[in-house]
Amino acid sequence: MLGIPLAVSNYDEVLGWMDGMIAAGARGYLTAAAVNLVMSAREEPPTLEAVLAATLAVPDGQPLVWALRALGHRRASRIYGPDLMLHFCRRAASSGTPMFLYGGRSQAAVELLELRLRERFPGLRIAGAFSAPFRDLSAEEQEQHARMIDDSGAAVVWVGTGQPRQERWMAQMRSRLAAPLLVGVGAAFDFHAGLVPQAPAWMQRSGLEWSYRLSREPRRLWRRYARYNPLFVAGFARQYARHLRSRRPSRRR
């Protein structure tokens, strides 16, 4: 999709892949890609490099799913980061898989998320929770954070620092961390902590979640949507036109 490979999958397949990565002790990272991330990657080389290096990128936004289907991928379905996190937490509460929460808008917010998840999934093993500063980390801070996460014994690190910052962090830190799996889920931290309401299901299905989020956080999000939504529509229109031309039978003289 506009140069970004997205998985055509469903929740069961992605959860099975995550379990397999953990069981094998492999090292990878997953991003739940929204339109914002796809378009950021087209403009920012570090973001493009981080997204292309992801072990798995899934379509988080409904417009991406529609676009994939228009290109012939009929099985494409939305893998919504917040829902993926809940599905995995439900399984982890039974399996005992330890996890780390890295991100959130403040330390109080990530600790509230930890509390809410423990209440929702009794038995869930949360090995640590830390809110990173909203800036690039120094080499010393990266080393400190890597040591903190490794010392926790977490098998999964949920990263909620927002796109594309979390993708760049996962790409930078992947080789330093022992946890088999890093998963970038963006706004899931705020949603599940109860700090920001989620869009109604019908708005999510209709591809209007962006408008709901904009109405709730206009000062933070208006530039993103005003810039990237039109660029995505124009970029996909060009890709779709090329797709249609490639399907036309060649004329013989």
Domain boundaries of the chain, sorted by first residue: 11-247
Give the C-alpha separation, 125 to 81, whole Å: 20
pLDDT of residue 251: 54
Give the C-alpha separation, 12 to 50, whole Å: 25
- Give mean pLDDT, residues 141-158: 96
- Give mean pLDDT, residues 7-27: 96
For 43, the 3-state DSSP assignment is helix
Q: Tell me, yes or no, if the pTM score tops 0.75.
A: yes
CB 103 within 8 A of CB 75: no
**Which of 42-46, 49-53, 210-214 is the least confident region?**
210-214
pLDDT tens figures, 125-145: 999 999 988 778 888 999 999
pLDDT of residue 32: 95
**Dihedral sign for Cα atoms in the order 24, 26, 82, 76:** negative
CB 127 within 8 A of CB 152: yes
Q: What is the spatial order of strands in the sheet that 181-184 belongs to?
A: 56-59, 28-33, 181-184, 156-160, 99-103, 126-130
